[in-house]
Structure 1
Amino acid sequence: MSARMHLSPAHDAHPQEPGSAQFARAADVLGLLADRTRLALLHALGKGEADVTTLTAAVDAARPAVSQHLAKLRLAGLVTARKDGRHVLYTLADGHLARLVTEALSHADHDLSGIPRHD
């Protein structure tokens, strides 16, 4: 495994230091995660694929708002969608995103609960 802790050997071809394009893309992704509803949607999708009705209940937001947020996340390539009859099922685009959301929420939990930080 590389020093960057990737799970796939395919990532070993990446340079050790991120370039300008990587910083720009990471900033774009983090900007999308900076919205509470989108973060909650991504967290819910980390548990598995779901339709808009399920996601609306999971994030306690209005259906039109959930649909708009999902459209932004799809456009950014963070979620994918597939048709299942009359329903559209959404899923996270990759495991990196699930881990990023988990880490952000863990960091918040440490801040809010007073749990000591760790390396």
Structure 2
Amino acid sequence: MDADKRIYGRDPDSQYVDLAVEVFSMLADATRVRIILALREHGELSVNHLADIVDKAPAAVSQHLAKLRLARIVTARQDGTRAFYRLANEHASQMVSDAIFQAEHSLGGVPRHHHAHVDSVKEASA
């Protein structure tokens, strides 16, 4: 009966904790974070277009994409000799956004992502 009430993946002894650490380690690379941000903004992109956006060589971007693909963070679609990549789901994009928001907090003051909330509170009180 209690098994029905358990929330899977949130138990500290869960196998998902180890997998979550692997996801974090996969995202602990600035080029991979930039790739995820580019895919979030543009949807589906070729390796060459991604390389232009993240300012890296296509071969390097291709290696990063291979790792992201193995981690099931991105998926690929072939069109002739070209491969196009997109995010597999919204979760990696959300984690990157949350990490950037957390980084903004380290700068002190009111982080940029809180400005909309502060502005709406000011407008409501006016």
The offset of 1:115, in angstroms, is 3.6
CA distance in 1, matches of 2:76, 2:9: 33
The yes-or-no answer on 1:26 pairing with 2:35 is no
Q: Which stretches in structure 1 are left out of the alignment for 5+ residues?
A: 1-11
The yes-or-no answer on 1:99 pairing with 2:94 is yes
Query: Where is the helix percentage greater, Structure 1 or Structure 2?
Result: 2
The offset of 1:14, in angstroms, is 4.3
Larger radius of gyration: 2
The offset of 1:78, in angstroms, is 0.9
The offset of 1:82, in angstroms, is 0.4
Residue 30 of structure 2 corresponds to 36
One-letter amino acid of the counterpart of residue 71, structure 1: A
The yes-or-no answer on 1:88 pairing with 2:59 is no
Q: 4+ residue stretches of structure 1 with deviation over 6 A?
A: none
Contact 2:45/2:85 (<8 A) preserved = yes
Residue 64 of structure 1 corresponds to 59
Q: Percent identity?
A: 43
What is the TM-score normalised by the length of structure 1? 0.78
The yes-or-no answer on 1:53 pairing with 2:39 is no
Q: Which stretches in structure 2 are left out of the alignment for 5+ residues?
A: 115-126
What is the TM-score normalised by the length of structure 2? 0.74
Bigger mean CA deviation after superposition, 70-79 or 14-23? 14-23
SS at match of 1:107: helix
CA distance in 2, matches of 1:111, 1:54: 32
TM-align CA RMSD? 2.2
CA distance in 2, matches of 1:25, 1:106: 23
CA distance in 1, matches of 2:44, 2:97: 17
One-letter amino acid of the counterpart of residue 15, structure 1: Y
**Count of aligned pairs:** 106
